[in-house]
């Protein structure tokens, strides 16, 4: 069996009396699309926040590429190849679309204590940024303000920023949140094209998208993982049906 890219072991996170993450263990293999599904309040976003380093777990460990990253901050994890997108669109609205992506490139191109040269015409930042924008279908929106993009386009930009850091694992927190059917379809197409080039942990409510994309699915209920398996196996799992799809599903 291949060595997992990400190994989560017995993760626990409490908020007061509420156990948001409860003994959660999960592996992600290199190159796979691993969907995490679960009813509202199952702790999906809390889980992503711990993987990205924004929240410290109370117990348990996270290993990435064989190294323990449980105590690293978000910037350090990003430097090791972990990228995330946000459920609530997080872009730099007052900068141009290309600036947004070029900053992601810049974050992984050495330190930024460079005070004089014009970074906005630096081909080593701008060319990869333009290429990434092309990849997500925003090639013709480069010079506009990011804040002026339509919602669906902002989600695409969000993805481009994560991709531009050249991650080996992408954490996508509801990439299709708030999208219409057409936009969702386009996003699924984009992610489909990424398959195999980068491992993806996908949190998504749109079940059509999940079943179209995922190699494996983990089901989160009340902060713990009740089942992991292929889409087919999850579809037929009795526990999952009871807990997630409803008693009478």
Q: Which stretch binds another protein (CB under 8 A): 24-32, 111-119, 134-142, 193-201?
A: 111-119
**Integer angstrom CA distances of residue 71 from 26, 137, 193:** 18, 36, 33
Of 107, 212, 226, 227, the one binding another protein (CB under 8 A) is 107
Distance CA 97, CA 109 (A): 19
Of 10, 90, 222, 228, the one binding another protein (CB under 8 A) is 90
φ and ψ of 15, to 5 deg: -115, 100
Give the burial string for 53-70 (b: 16+ CB within 10 Å, else e). Answer: bebebeebebbbbeeebb
Of 78, 154, 156, 224, the one binding another protein (CB under 8 A) is 78
Residue 202 as a binder of another protein (CB under 8 A): the answer is no
Of 118, 182, 238, 248, the one binding another protein (CB under 8 A) is 118
Residue 112 as a binder of another protein (CB under 8 A): the answer is yes
Of 3, 15, 73, 233, the one binding another protein (CB under 8 A) is 73
Closest CA to 48 of 200, 213, 214, 227: 200
Q: Considering beta carbons, is residue 65 or 242 the nearer one to another protein?
A: 65
Give min distance, CB of 5 to another protein, in A. 18
Q: Considering beta carbons, is residue 160 or 221 the nearer one to another protein?
A: 160
Q: Is residue 22 helix, strand or coil?
A: strand
Distance CA 18, CA 135 (A): 41
Residue 133 as a binder of another protein (CB under 8 A): the answer is no
Bridge pairing between strands 216-221 and 33-37: parallel
Q: Considering beta carbons, is residue 70 or 100 the nearer one to another protein?
A: 100
Instruction: State the number of CA atoms in the 13 A half-sphere of 2 facing the CB.
Output: 10
Q: Which stretch binds another protein (CB under 8 A): 24-32, 70-78, 203-211, 230-238?
A: 70-78
Of 51, 55, 103, 188, the one binding another protein (CB under 8 A) is 103
> Would you tell me the crossing angle of helices 123-135 and 97-107 to the nearest 10 degrees?
120
Q: Which stretch binds another protein (CB under 8 A): 21-29, 110-118, 192-200, 228-236?
A: 110-118
Task: Pull the structure tokens for residue 19.
Answer: 């156990």
Residue 120 as a binder of another protein (CB under 8 A): the answer is yes
Residue whose entry in the numeric block shows the structure tokens 């409490």:
14
Residue 106 as a binder of another protein (CB under 8 A): the answer is yes
Distance CA 86, CA 13 (A): 20
The site for another protein (CB under 8 A) is made up of 52, 54, 73-75, 78-79, 83-84, 86, 90-96, 99-100, 102-104, 106-108, 112-120, 122, 125, 145, 161, 165
């Amino acid at each position: 069996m291949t060595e997992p890219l990400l190994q989560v072991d017995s993760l626990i996170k409490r908020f007061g009396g509420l156990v948001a993450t409860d003994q959660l263990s999960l592996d992600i293999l290199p190159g796979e699309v691993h969907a995490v599904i679960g009813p509202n309040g199952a702790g999906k976003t809390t889980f992503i926040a711990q993987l990205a380093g924004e929240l410290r777990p109370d117990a348990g460990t996270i290993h990435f590429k064989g190294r323990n990253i449980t105590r690293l901050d978000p910037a350090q994890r990003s430097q090791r190849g972990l990228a995330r997108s946000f459920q609530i669109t997080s872009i730099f609205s007052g900068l141009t679309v290309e600036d947004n992506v070029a900053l992601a490139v810049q974050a992984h191109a050495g330190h930024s204590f460079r005070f004089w040269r014009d970074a906005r015409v630096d081909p080593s930042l701008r060319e990869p940024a333009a290429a990434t924008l092309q990849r997500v279908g925003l090639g013709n929106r480069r010079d506009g303000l990011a804040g002026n993009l339509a919602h669906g386009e902002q989600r695409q930009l969000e993805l481009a920023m994560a991709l531009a850091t050249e991650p080996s694992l992408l954490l996508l927190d509801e990439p299709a949140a708030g999208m219409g059917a057409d936009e969702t379809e386009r996003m699924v197409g984009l992610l489909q094209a990424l398959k195999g080039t980068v491992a993806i942990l996908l949190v998504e409510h749109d079940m059509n998208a999940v079943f179209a994309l995922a190699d494996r699915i983990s089901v989160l209920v009340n902060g713990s993982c009740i089942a992991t398996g292929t889409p087919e196996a999850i579809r037929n799992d009795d526990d999952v049906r009871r807990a997630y799809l409803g008693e009478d599903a």
